[in-house]
Amino acid sequence: MNNKLMIGRLFKYIGKRKFQLIFSLFCAVITSVFSLYIPVLAGKGIDCVAFSSVDWLTLKSILIKILIFTLLSVLSQLTMNCINNNLSYETVGEIRNSALSKSLRLPLFFIDRISGGDIVSRIINDGDILADGLILGLAQLFTGIVTIIGTLIYMLLINPKAAAVVIVLTPMSMVISGFISKKSFVLFKKRSEAEGKLTSLTDESVNGFDIIKSNSGEDSFNKKFSLLNSEYADNSLKALFVSSLTNPSTRFVNSMIYAVVGIIGAFSAISGQLSVGLLTVFLSYAGQYAKPFNEISGVIAELQSSFAGAERIFEIIDEKEEIYYGKEMNSSVSGNVQVNSVDFSYSKDKKILTDINLSAKAGENIAIVGSTGCGKTTLVNLLMRFYKPDTGEILIDGDNIQDFSLSSLRHSFGMVLQDTWVKTASVRENLCLYNNKISFEEMIEKAKTCHAHSFISKLPNGYDTVISDDYGLSQGQKQLINITRVMISDPKILILDEATSSVDTRTEAKIQDAFSSLMEGKTSFIVAHRLSTIVNCDKIVVMKNGQIIEQGKHNELYASGGEYTKMINYAMNKA
């Protein structure tokens, strides 16, 4: 995305705060007008003392006016800065909200492509960089434009010839800064990308701290972190070095202009065309005219960093999201599921699922078994419409799941995964996440059924205890909270992906009892390895290399002597 499009997009957000923008511009005008009038007063003051007699009364009046206008200018600039700060942070806050909201609506393959740490870096770190650039850019833009116009008018009135020299030569600094800014933008983008990788690795190492330590992987992670840290430092130094060339380069050009104007003005003063005071005023305006160009060129370097950050945030906002609209799934859905000739691949060069055909009648329990990587989890992800099949269709009660709204479809599913997730909130909020209409008494009954009530009641504040992933709950306790949450939501179709793998055998037996009552009358898909989980299912589906190779009940499949028999025998021998 080029800078013009980027500025246009940013101003769409900024434009929503028109009152603040107009008031900031008004303050910029006041600041610049007062700043421009001060040299006029200073010139008059110099003329008061430029001759043998000094007009002390007039000089005193001029000095008082200079003090008053200086204070007013400072006050106006302070007000403008406060408005710009508020405007920038509100704008970036809205962009962050848009990015986070969009990320939650994106399909899973986007998260597969970009790490969680990089998404965090884009929304938080790049957002901060964007805010800093906007604050600086808005302040310099408003005052700079007014100052350039005001000084230009005054210089043309005082000495058109010298003013022409300033007008012709000053844009040279913008040409130089424009050339440098193009180079620095590329480097700042590389720096942001390196920062994303660094954040991602840090997040990964913190979350897997116990695994890293238990496998003595500290040195390996340190080396990888050191390499990424060096890459980030290298990109940062290059970007900052190139961008830092802007200010001295433009200052050199403007100093040369100031010198030329000084010589022309001096000859005009000697010839009597200008008074000493007016010469001072002109030189002051020449400096003030060049100053915004210097400041803007310096801001350009900061803006390149901001634009690089904004581009990474807008990549999230512009990403194609899942289609959420569609017809609502009937609340009385029975749960008949039909999978017809489904093929699926994450990338074109490697198929994950091939010609999957599967039927589940309402209320049936379907176990999906197979070795790691055979496509079990991918299949249930297709049922949840986390991904779309390449070919084929999945039907619920005869309707294609692609025709339903995502909200109604996923409300009809209850999913318990091997990986647990606990929201930073009270236990009560965690349990009622998908059904906040349930009474407290009903919630406790569900928790008792799932054997979660006993440990919850021992927490400091019981069901009002605020918990998180780092609170100190065991993996099994967090899984029991997840299972209770699904029971409370009372879905029509269940997906249990290794749902009891994190609990001990005794707790698993209790949970199986709870699941038996939960699954009554519901269609259930159970991904599991443990024999105790699958033997009583209505149908067992055996997968291998992305295909269904066997289907049937436990006794039938075991007697056939096929792949399922080998799996069971291996599991029994291993036990």
Q: What angle, 0 to 180 degrees and rounded to 10, lies between the N-to-C axes of helices 56-104 and 276-318?
A: 10
CA distance 481 to 45: 80
Convert 245-276 to b/e letters by CB count within 10 Å (16 or more is b): bbbebbbebbeebbeebeebbeebbeeeebbe
CA distance 257 to 286: 8
Judge contact between 519 and 494, C-beta under 8 A. Answer: yes
Which residues lie below 8 Å from residue 463, measured CB to CB, with a gap of 6+?
A: 426, 427, 428, 431, 440, 443, 444, 456
- List the one residue out of 491, 533, 487 whose CA is nearest residue 512: 533
At 373 the three-state DSSP class reads coil
Residue entry with tokens 């400041």? 295
Domains, the chain: 3-318 (1.20.1560.10), 331-412+491-549 (3.40.50.300), 421-490 (3.40.50.300)
- What is the full per-residue pLDDT of the chain (575 aa) written as tens digits? 566 777 778 878 887 888 888 888 888 888 888 887 887 777 777 777 755 567 778 878 888 888 988 899 899 889 988 888 888 888 888 888 888 888 888 777 777 777 777 788 888 888 888 887 777 777 777 777 777 888 778 777 777 777 777 777 777 776 777 777 777 777 887 888 888 788 877 777 776 666 666 566 677 778 888 888 888 888 888 888 887 777 777 777 777 777 777 777 777 767 777 666 677 777 777 777 767 766 665 666 667 777 777 888 888 888 887 777 778 877 778 889 999 999 998 877 788 899 999 999 988 889 999 888 888 888 988 998 888 899 999 999 888 998 888 888 888 888 888 777 888 889 999 899 888 888 999 999 988 888 889 899 999 999 999 998 778 888 788 888 888 888 888 888 888 887 666 566 676 676 677 677 677 778 989 887 667 678 888 899 999 999 999 999 988 898 888 888 888 887 777 65
User: pLDDT by residue (tens digit) across 440-482?
Assistant: 999 999 888 888 898 999 999 999 999 987 788 887 888 888 8
CA distance 419 to 497: 9
pTM, two decimals, is 0.62
In degrees rounded to 5, what are phi and psi of residue 325? -80, 165
CA distance 142 to 150: 13
- Please give the pLDDT value at position 160: 79
CA distance 102 to 556: 48
User: pLDDT by residue (tens digit) across 176-212?
Assistant: 777 777 777 778 878 888 887 888 777 777 766 666 6
Largest Cα–Cα separation, the chain: 122
Judge contact between 166 and 257, C-beta under 8 A. Answer: yes
